[in-house]
Structure 1
Amino acid sequence: MGHSHGHDHGHSNLKGRNLIISILLNILITVAQVIGGLISGSLSLLSDALHNFSDVLSLIISYIATLLSKRQASTNKTFGYKRAEIIAAFVNAATLIMVALILIKEASERFFEPQAIESNVVIWLSLLGIVANGFSVLLLKKDSKSNMNMKSAYLHLLTDMLASVAVLIGGLLMKFYEVYWVDAALTLAIAIYLIFVGYDLLKDSTRVLMLFTPDTIHVKQIVEEVCKITSVKNIHHIHIWQLNEDEVHLEAHVDFNEDIKLSEFDNILDEIEEVVYHKFGINHVTIQPEHGKCGSKQIIVQD
């Protein structure tokens, strides 16, 4: 028998208008920085443009996810499109790391052979990045407090703004002190940051796609808490997985001390739900009741 603990469908409350404005602003920044990077010869500006382009993809994914989340599940899509953004995040993270590795190669070569940079272009375009990303950050700040997806986009844009600040500092150093190697150094710093962010995103999306138990949940603690409930003999054959950023599922077999009625089981199921929701954040529970049934009673069973 199964039961689901009610939860808030956060994606349906996203502000699509703010996301569209942020997407358009980041497209503007990306195009301007690519053109400016080619004209000025600044590798750090081009690397920042790639970073902003990754944010455009990230914001588009967030917006598409908002639209897809409104679609109802069906007989051939019983979970609907709840994992679309996880798959996209995995692909984007892998691409992000590949781009960062290419940037490191280019920056290493440029570091030993510094080239003159048109610093004025770098300065003005980095200022454009600071203003546009700063405005996007303000647009998404409110929604970021109530939705994990929006919080991710918000933090990404915030770090973009800081990256533009770094590029601005580099442009000023090149303009007034002709320290051209700083361009390659900033490119390396941005690339390393991209690897850091990309790796975390790749790891997290892989865990979700592979149905791994979330890091914050400890199975043995769940067993201890559920076994404190009256009439429960043991809980075994446990599966815990994260469907997306909002839903965590628990599936298990529960062995009872007595041959209880179905109505009694429903009451115990409510208790189990409350325990795992409030203590472990699990909001979807499916329990198979058992009494005196032969079979493995191991917590984790190799199906």
Structure 2
Amino acid sequence: MYSILLNVLITVAQVVGGIISGSLALLSDALHNFSDVLSLVISYIGHKLSRRKATISQTFGFKRSELIAAFINAITLVGVAIYLVYEAIERFIDPVTIKPGLVIWLAVLGIVANGISVLLLKDDANHNLNMKSAYLHLLTDMMASVAVLIGGLLMMYFQIYWVDSLLTLLIAIYLIIVGVKLLGDSTKMLMLFTPDSINIKDIVHEVHKIPGANKLHHIHVWHLNEEELHLEAHLDCTEDITLSQFNELLHKIEKVLFEKFHINHVNIQPEYKKEDPKDFIVQD
């Protein structure tokens, strides 16, 4: 919560300062900080929502709400970054006189406030992927503020005003890279794509090593959220075993899937000589 308040303070100060000073780099850095505010708010709300219990009408609870918010934020982030590129090019064509003194002081404020936020999130970032993402976002913000500070000093002492537009372009390009990656990752998860780190053939190969497992097929692997990796499949058994025997077999399969592929939610339908497609991937 303190990190959110600090970033709100930075954003407001940089927007006001950017308008007064005429610095586009300061405004673009303010946009970046505002995206961090959204990121931190989403992390906070997502953390709260993820604690809600599943219900009959919401069997997965709200575990995918962060993905929807990330998808929306990514589209917005890329759109605004493209607009910043346009504005920076306009400034190259038609330069504007900038007041570097205000730019310098606000850049220093950004460095200090983001530095404090980074320290506040550092411990949580070591064991929480969501917090690590926010931590790295704030760390890059601090670096962006350092770039704006350097630009302000160059404008003050060497009257190199075009550096403001150059820094804006660099920050915008960075925002596009981050936004496109976020958009790609969230889209893959929302579309239930197989994670990039998972090879279906490797899973089949490992499961088939287990005695009693004849043919793993009709396989689906997807991320419910960043922490939950699910697998569902059909398993053709070598023998007509009892339910208790299948439980033992299932336990061995779950152990292999978790240890080798970090799959922590497994749902397997047992079969014995059932007449159905035995391909790894089956069109439902």
TM-score (norm 1): 0.93
1:85-234 alignment runs, 5 A limit? 85-234=66-215
Name the SS of the counterpart of 1:239 in structure 2: strand
User: For the residues of structure 2 that align with 1:85 and 1:276, how far apart are their CA atoms?
Assistant: 26
User: For the residues of structure 2 that align with 1:159 and 1:273, how far apart are their CA atoms?
Assistant: 39
Give the alignment partner of residue 75 of structure 1, picking from 41, 45, 56.
56
| Residue in 2 that maps onto 1:276 | 257
Please report how far the alpha carbon of residue 67 of structure 1 lies from its aligned counterpart in structure 2 after TM superposition: 1.1
User: For the residues of structure 2 that align with 1:92 and 1:115, how far apart are their CA atoms?
Assistant: 31
User: For the residues of structure 2 that align with 1:183 and 1:111, how far apart are their CA atoms?
Assistant: 9
Please report how far the alpha carbon of residue 240 of structure 1 lies from its aligned counterpart in structure 2 after TM superposition: 0.6
Name the SS of the counterpart of 1:233 in structure 2: strand
- What's the CA shift string for 1:222-256, capped at 9, x where partnerless? 00000001011110000111000000000000001
User: For the residues of structure 1 that align with 2:123 and 2:233, how far apart are their CA atoms?
Assistant: 38
Please report how far the alpha carbon of residue 69 of structure 1 lies from its aligned counterpart in structure 2 after TM superposition: 1.6
Identity percentage of aligned residues: 65
Higher mean alpha-carbon deviation, 63-72 vs 167-176, is at: 63-72
Give the alignment partner of residue 236 of structure 1, picking from 197, 205, 217.
217
User: For the residues of structure 2 that align with 1:101 and 1:88, how far apart are their CA atoms?
Assistant: 20
Task: Write the letter of the residue equivalent to 1:181.
Answer: W
Please report how far the alpha carbon of residue 112 of structure 1 lies from its aligned counterpart in structure 2 after TM superposition: 2.1
User: For the residues of structure 2 that align with 1:295 and 1:78, how far apart are their CA atoms?
Assistant: 29
Name the SS of the counterpart of 2:218 in structure 1: strand
User: For the residues of structure 2 that align with 1:256 and 1:42, how far apart are their CA atoms?
Assistant: 68
| Residue in 1 that maps onto 2:233 | 252
Aligned length in residues: 284
| Residue in 2 that maps onto 1:264 | 245
- What's the CA shift string for 1:249-287, capped at 9, x where partnerless? 000000011101111100000000000101001000000
Task: Write the letter of the residue equivalent to 2:111.
Answer: I
Name the SS of the counterpart of 1:212 in structure 2: coil
Higher relative contact order (CA 8 A, sep 6+): 1
| Residue in 2 that maps onto 1:24 | 5
- What's the CA shift string for 1:185-211, capped at 9, x where partnerless? 000000000000001000000000000
| Residue in 1 that maps onto 2:281 | 300
| Residue in 2 that maps onto 1:13 | none
Gapped regions of structure 2 (runs ≥ 5) = none
- Runs of 4+ with deviation above 3 angstroms: none
User: For the residues of structure 2 that align with 1:187 and 1:263, how far apart are their CA atoms?
Assistant: 64
Name the SS of the counterpart of 1:79 in structure 2: coil
TM-score (norm 2): 0.99
Gapped regions of structure 1 (runs ≥ 5) = 1-19
Please report how far the alpha carbon of residue 72 of structure 1 lies from its aligned counterpart in structure 2 after TM superposition: 0.7
Task: Write the letter of the residue equivalent to 2:120.
Answer: L
User: For the residues of structure 1 that align with 2:200 and 2:171, how far apart are their CA atoms?
Assistant: 38
User: For the residues of structure 1 that align with 2:215 and 2:276, how far apart are their CA atoms?
Assistant: 13
